[in-house]
A = this chain, B = another copy of it.
Amino acid sequence: MAYAYWKTGKMEDKAVFDLFFRKNPFRGEFAIFAGLGECVKFLNNFRFSCSDIAYLQEILPNVDQGFWEYLSQLDASQVVTMSAIPEGYVVFPKVPLIRLEGPLPVIQLLETTFLNLINYASLVATNAARFRITAGDGVQLLEFGLRRAQGPDGGLSASKYCYIGGFDGTSNVLAGKLFGIPVRGTHAHAFVNSFSSLDDVSENVSFLDFCCFLSIFCQLAMSWLTKISPILNILEHETNKGELKAFLAYAYAFPRTCLCLLDTYSVIKSGLPNFLAVALALNEYGYRAIGVRLDSGDLAYLSRKCREAFVLIADQFESPWMKKFTVVASNDINEETLISLKEQKHEINSFGIGTHLVTCQKQPALGCVFKLVEVNGEPRMKLSEDVGKINLPGKKSVFRLYSEDGLAILDLIQLCSEKPPEVGKKILVRHPFIESKRAYVCPYKVELLYRDYWGNNGLTQSFPSLQELKKTASDSLKTLRQDIKRELNPTPYKVSVTNEMYNFLHELWLKYAPIGELS
């Protein structure tokens, strides 16, 4: 396409493109805008290397030499301007998230990369925000999705944008290293499985200390197991002793942060009593265990059973700190699971969420598109065979209007040439396509949604940190009415146009739409 523009003399045509999506994801009524920082980095590095051009010459042998010279000199520094909604804001269908201006072929060449960088980032940030809304603020949410992401890079994107969207940490250690996201994790079943019995002692001489210590530690835990078994109504000899050994070993390695996975053999009959025995033994050395993880079975029931046991043992042995053990749950958790667990009064403090979060199982793609809306000052419009695919023509501004309580009322799209809406002044706003849907609105606060991110000399402002983006998302979500954010049948947020924009759109529509002859 770039070649055809160049070849037909359109390489200096000044184009305006909008990047937007047409429908909210996850049957919801909002999205979180993310990925903008990566787009800015891409603009900064936008260049065709010699090897790029050599490859293109190979696959396009009939192209004029002049085009390769043109392409090799191309960059975004002098010629592109970009305005966008700040990253982390709540955003809505049809509202352009990014507006790019510059020479037609240059902006066209940015299309796929921009869509790639925005689509998944916004989708997964929105997904994370929805999990956070559903789970409530009282619990910890950890992203455990690296193994199910689209390669290592997909995993990093997931960790980053889930954190922005409202998660507290990740199991992806590289994401911790690169982005400063808190990393969290526990041991896996393999750790438990690697110990087969209490006699499973390493022959490694340098660990003689450990062996001596362990035999005492082990006796201590065993005596606790004898004490707690009748209270918990379990058979002491039926708990798996390899598991007990594994918990002892883990407590030895991490005395300050000991958190044990209970479901390798049986949570109730083995994992839970073993953990409690180890926690009580560890306490005698002056360390307090952190808690447990459940990774299979009926999580609500098991978490309640764990909590009951914690309280029972805490009361019995006057150790109130045991009541507060953390319960981490994982195993294919999605929004529906969170709702169901809540209804069943779960006792979980922390969720490790992987597959459903990072793959966005409920809707794995946000349909962002990139549409030409103006060339050399003239508006452009695509009709398509589907009415839903029509775009809003022309170079536009978007304002978010707020009421006195700080909540957003609607987003108002208008032509750049129009006067901005004013605080305290009544404005007629219209549905972009349904003629009869009109309303007057008198804003208490008006916010121009666009900021300039890329100007004629490159980057026009410093980019916020991940922490700042996380705060932006959280603050922006607070401006959204609760009924718009709820999981079941949320109320749509209004995206309106001015009367002038409405008329402009519909005149152009009629102009472009061919009249047929029915036969």
Contacts and interface: CB of A to CB of B under 8 A. Distances in A.
A423 interface: no
Query: Taking each of A1, A389, A515, which has the highest tally of chain B beta carbons within 10 Å of its own beta carbon?
Result: A1
Interface residues of A, number: 119
A233 B519 CA distance: 8
Contact of A119 (B12, B117, B147, B252): B147
A113 B152 contact: yes
Interface in A106-157: 108, 111-113, 115-117, 119-121, 146-157
A124 to B, nearest CB: 8
Given A177-B55, A516-B269, A151 B381 contact: no
Nearest to A191: B1
A256 B367 CA distance: 33
A193 B361 contact: no
B154 A120 contact: yes
Contact of A385 (B3, B201, B266, B516): B266
A7 B514 contact: no
A115 B4 contact: no
Contacts of A9: 201-202, 204, 206-207, 210-211
Contacts of A120: 148-151, 154
Contact of A239 (B151, B171, B514): B514
Interface stretch (A309-317, A368-376, A414-422, A468-476): A368-376
A365 B155 CA distance: 13
A444 to B, nearest CB: 39
A265 interface: yes
A3 B256 CA distance: 14
A516 B382 contact: no
Interface stretch (A182-190, A344-352, A405-413, A494-502): A182-190
A296 B266 contact: no
Contact of A378 (B119, B154, B196, B256): B196
Contacts of A516: 234-235, 238, 266, 268-269
Contact of A384 (B207, B264, B372, B383): B264
A358 B365 CA distance: 9
A336 interface: no
A4 B361 contact: no
Contacts of A194: 5, 10, 13, 15, 104, 372, 375, 380
Given A194-B372, A270-B514, A367 B355 contact: yes
A382 B189 contact: yes
A434 interface: no
A52 B177 contact: yes
Contacts of A488: none
A263 interface: yes
A250 B11 CA distance: 14
Nearest to A389: B296
A321 B517 CA distance: 29
A3 B189 contact: no
Contacts of A7: 210, 249, 252-253
A4 B191 contact: yes
A212 interface: no
A385 B253 contact: no
Contacts of A177: 51-52, 55
A263 B17 contact: no
A297 interface: yes
Interface string A208-236: 00110010000000000000000001110
Contacts of A51: 177
A62 B256 contact: yes
Nearest to A299: B385
A240 interface: yes
A103 to B, nearest CB: 11
Interface in A53-77: 55-56, 59, 62
A254 interface: yes
A167 B59 CA distance: 19
A517 B266 contact: no
A64 to B, nearest CB: 9
A158 interface: yes
A190 B150 contact: no
Given A8-B253, A359-B364, 9 more contacts: A8-B210, A9-B201, A116-B147, A120-B150, A120-B151, A150-B157, A151-B156, A196-B378, A355-B365
29 contacts: A4-B191, A8-B207, A9-B211, A11-B204, A12-B204, A51-B177, A62-B256, A112-B146, A112-B171, A116-B152, A119-B148, A148-B367, A149-B154, A150-B151, A150-B153, A152-B153, A153-B154, A189-B371, A190-B382, A196-B380, A234-B516, A234-B517, A235-B516, A264-B384, A266-B383, A266-B513, A268-B516, A297-B386, A298-B385
Q: Across chains A and B, which 3 residue pairs bring their CB atoms closest together, nearest first?
A: A297-B385, A153-B153, A9-B202
